[in-house]
Structure 1
Amino acid sequence: MAIENPQPGTRIEKWKVFRDVCQARERLGIQDRALAVLDALLTFHPHAELDPSHGLVVFPSNAQLSVRAHGITETTLRRQLAALVDAGLILRRDSPNGKRYAHRNRDGEVEQAYGFDLTPLLARAMELALMAQDVAAERVRFRRAKEALTICRRDVRKLISAAVEEGVTGNWERVEAAYIGILSRLPRHPDRMQVEITLDEMELLREEVLNILELQLKTENMHGNAGQNACHIQNSNTESINELEPGSEKERAESAVADIRPTSMSPKRAKAKPEPIKAFPLGMVLRACPQIADYGPGGRIEHWRELMKAAVVVRSMLGVSPSAYEEACNAMGPENAAVAIACILERSNFITSAGGYLRDLTRRSERGEFSLGPMLMALMKVSGDSNRKTA
């Protein structure tokens, strides 16, 4: 009824409708060959707009259509024309003898035409536009779900690897098996719902891994081991500049050597060999230290190189000397030094001297007494508590 009695004054730009049909092709159940045929049909309509007053029936021969549809065979042409009719995009207007032609008046204007009617495109223009917008939005949701799954999967993989390498207590074989099982259930070509289900499962596994690490951290805090650094960063406002700046470095070094050597050993033999600090997942670092992202390009950080560039900017802002930062890079590695700067920025309101604090962490790292894990976990816990209070 809408096709036979279109609303008066209705008109639409024909190529806009064609773009909407292309966007919604899968929803309409047509192939790309059918789009080529529809494109060819629209080229036979002499006006830029579909307007009932100008006539919407085109009557090209199969030979002419084949040429404009990039030379497809007549068999394929007939099949795709039928598909366009079945999809409700065109109508057949058959003549008594089955041919396509038009009757014209003395002025050459078309009075009656037999061929393919483009009126359905005009009548369904709004429906096709909404369908195209929904398809575009669905594609965006699908892409974001896949990106989130990739980041979450990468975080879980790195957390498991870091935990195994650090010797953290836990049934990591079971966690590894759960990780592999979640990914194995994802089809080779999944849809958005399947990706989102996998993402939910992977996020739950990530939370479980973080809970295991947090429980381990609490256990170490109870025994006064690795948790000392977490307490140190939260209570550093009680330290003075004289305690952290290089002025008393000699005395602290002598004291540190005295603490770790037996009375009968020389300082050279008693010096502890520093252990390498493991790099943690970037996502974990950014959750623990969200402020560092403000100093990345465009106010965001997406990979380690951007984090290290942002750390150089923050280092200068906090008043950390280039030599102190260089020493930290040599002792910890450039990635971990950047993470240390991010942690200091996060607690800068409670740290009297950022430069002295970094030098102290550097010396602890050289003695093998420093780990980023407890520091990051403490900051993540503080950040989580803040978010819950805000909510």
Structure 2
Amino acid sequence: MQTGHVTTPFGRRPATLALVKGQLAITAPSPGARVEKWKVFRDVCEARERFGLQDRALAVLDALLTFYPEPQLDQDHGLVVFPSNAQLSVRAHGITESTLRRQLGALVDAGLIQRRDSPNGKRYAHRSRDGIIEQAYGFDLSPLLTRAAELALLAQEVAAERVRFRRAKEALTICRRDVRKLITAAIEEGASGNWLDVEMMYVGILGRLPRYPDRTQVEATLDEMELLRNEVINLLEMQLNTDYMHGNAIQNECHIQNSNTESIYELEPSSGKEQGESLPEEPPAKRIGVEQKRANAEQIKSFPLGMVLRACPQIVDYGPGGSISNWRELMTAAVVVRSMLGVSPSAYEEACNAMGPQNAAAAMACILERSNYINSAGGYLRDLTKRSERGEFSIGPMLMALLKANGDGNRLAG
């Protein structure tokens, strides 16, 4: 039985069931258990937010530990300290008595100390003839010894959380800088595209970030900002690729017109069979169009698989075994969905050629997610394919819209 660890407060302070529950939850330290008292104090300071403690509560705990004579909390030497309020106030940097009582109550509620009240409410100790303390009334520090391992673990978790928070803020700062400067460069240098809308998206993402955000809010904003950065890079790469292909087309035309110094009509004529007729060459414009499609498909970047699955959770049901863990499984599921939605194989093949197999599979996942609002999935996919061939399509806005509409919407809104 643990009734020996349950005590009631003196005077008008009531004994609540919560107080009893907290005392029962703290088991007695094992015989011979000891821990360095200032290490425990540092762990409590590190994890103070988990207990809802203020700086003054830590100052009071520090003062209580100074009244324990040994450097280590040791069950064999007793763990009850019994300073007066006046002594505690002096060692706690002169805080008022009302503040002292309030912070002592906070330490008790946090389960870091326990009251051992005497019959008259005063703090004192009974000693033997040899001066050894036999019974003490005051504040019991045994919870610090009992919970030493728990406090150390909490301190490590809080420190790791702080590091993760700091790195998330650093990553968001870098991502913000990238997006801001890329948008500015695109606008100032006249790159084609609706960059004012992109800038409004950038401002909107930052506008949803609170003035004093927590780690979850920073990471949610970082997810959105990284998605926007990928979209901006996609648009710029498609623009640069289009300029490159146009330059190649002009150069190829000049080469075709000027490189043949001898006309074939100047050669000795003979029958077509003797000359070894060959099939007419593909027109340069057509070759350029095919190269353009392939280049666009290569330049459109695929977004992370996890992001696609968060935006389009319904596609998971059509994966092998009802799950999707890689791009190959997503593409397999997309083929099943294509057949189910009545999209022809040729339409899906054209989409794969125009935007790449991964983006085509992601597009099918988006169409499945919005199938209730799309009359013809095949026609919708062909329209996306044509826009992709013209360099006017990126899957980023579709994913962002679905992320906001689905379960991640509240998280991204931060």
2:183 is equivalent to residue 160 of structure 1: yes
SS at structure 2 position matched to 1:116? strand
Residue identity matched to 2:74: D
Residue 40 of structure 1 is matched in structure 2 by 63
Residue 278 of structure 1 is matched in structure 2 by none
Structure 1's 13 and 165: CA in aligned 2 closer, same or farther, altered over 3 A? same
For 2:248 and 2:165, the matched residues in 1 are separated by: 45
For 2:211 and 2:81, the matched residues in 1 are separated by: 44
Offset from partner CA, 1:104-159 (integer Å, 9 cap, x none): 01111111000000000000000000000000000000000000000000000000
Identity %: 79
2:190 is equivalent to residue 170 of structure 1: no
How many matched pairs?
A: 228
Q: Is the 8 A contact 1:221 1:227 kept in 2?
A: no
Residue 136 of structure 2 is matched in structure 1 by 113
2:94 is equivalent to residue 59 of structure 1: no
Structure 1's 163 and 6: CA in aligned 2 closer, same or farther, altered over 3 A? same
Deviation at 1:5, TM superposition (A): 2.8
Structure 1's 73 and 225: CA in aligned 2 closer, same or farther, altered over 3 A? farther
SS at structure 2 position matched to 1:223? helix
Alignment of 1:183-262 (within 5 A): 183-224=206-247
Of 12, 16, 31, the match for 1:8: 31
Residue identity matched to 1:9: G
Residue 124 of structure 2 is matched in structure 1 by 101
SS at structure 1 position matched to 2:135? strand
Q: Is the 8 A contact 1:220 1:227 kept in 2?
A: no
For 2:53 and 2:233, the matched residues in 1 are separated by: 48
Q: Is the 8 A contact 2:175 2:222 kept in 1?
A: yes
Structure 1 stretches lacking a partner, 5+ long: 229-391
Residue 319 of structure 2 is matched in structure 1 by none
Structure 1's 226 and 186: CA in aligned 2 closer, same or farther, altered over 3 A? farther
SS at structure 1 position matched to 2:138? strand
Q: Is the 8 A contact 1:217 1:226 kept in 2?
A: no
Of 127, 138, 149, the match for 2:172: 149
For 1:134 and 1:4, the matched residues in 2 are separated by: 23
Offset from partner CA, 1:168-223 (integer Å, 9 cap, x none): 00101100000000000000000001000100100011111111111111111111
Q: Structure 2-normalised TM-score?
A: 0.54
Structure 2 stretches lacking a partner, 5+ long: 3-24, 252-414
For 2:248 and 2:146, the matched residues in 1 are separated by: 74
For 1:227 and 1:95, the matched residues in 2 are separated by: 98
For 1:29 and 1:227, the matched residues in 2 are separated by: 70
Q: Which runs of 4+ in 1 moved over 4 A?
A: 1-4, 225-228
Q: Is the 8 A contact 1:92 1:115 kept in 2?
A: yes
Deviation at 1:37, TM superposition (A): 0.3
Residue identity matched to 2:161: E
Q: Is the 8 A contact 1:217 1:227 kept in 2?
A: no
Of 28, 43, 55, the match for 2:51: 28
Q: Structure 1-normalised TM-score?
A: 0.57
For 2:166 and 2:46, the matched residues in 1 are separated by: 16
RMSD of aligned C-alpha atoms?
1.6
Deviation at 1:9, TM superposition (A): 1.6
Offset from partner CA, 1:60-105 (integer Å, 9 cap, x none): 0000000000000000000000000000000000111110000001
SS at structure 2 position matched to 1:98? coil
Deviation at 1:226, TM superposition (A): 12
Residue 131 of structure 1 is matched in structure 2 by 154
Q: Is the 8 A contact 2:31 2:76 kept in 1?
A: no
Residue 205 of structure 2 is matched in structure 1 by 182
Deviation at 1:48, TM superposition (A): 0.2
Q: Is the 8 A contact 2:27 2:146 kept in 1?
A: no
